[in-house]
Amino acid sequence: MGFTPETEVSLNNYAHTAYPGRCVLDMEPSLVTLELGQGINLPNIPCVVLYCIGDGYGALHKCDHSKPPQSCRYGDFQKLDAAFPDCCQRKIICD
């Protein structure tokens, strides 16, 4: 059994004075700059993507998992290599 949830979006400011109009992420050991409309999967965070929506602002998209059915819990992501939001699908384990 699997579950594909809705997505959750948060807006954040990723502006940097050296890169006007772009979204800038400090991803050690380098900076990543995104132009309007570009997106990037965030490393080490399953199924999270950031889209630059302009003037340094980015829309961070992540899976929004509501509570699983009673007596059930979420298991692993089932399609972690899939594009967002298809990667949000998780296994549901019911006892």
pTM, entire model: 0.75
pLDDT per residue as tens digits for the range 13-46: 999 999 999 999 988 888 999 999 999 988 788 8
Residue 3 has pLDDT above 80, yes or no: no
Whether residue 38 contacts residue 48, with contact meaning beta carbons closer than 8 Å, is answered with no
Average pLDDT over residues 64-85: 86
Q: Which domain holds residue 28?
A: 2-94
Answer left, alpha or beta for residue 41, where phi above 0 means left and psi between -120 and 50 means alpha: beta
The tally of domains found in the chain comes to 1
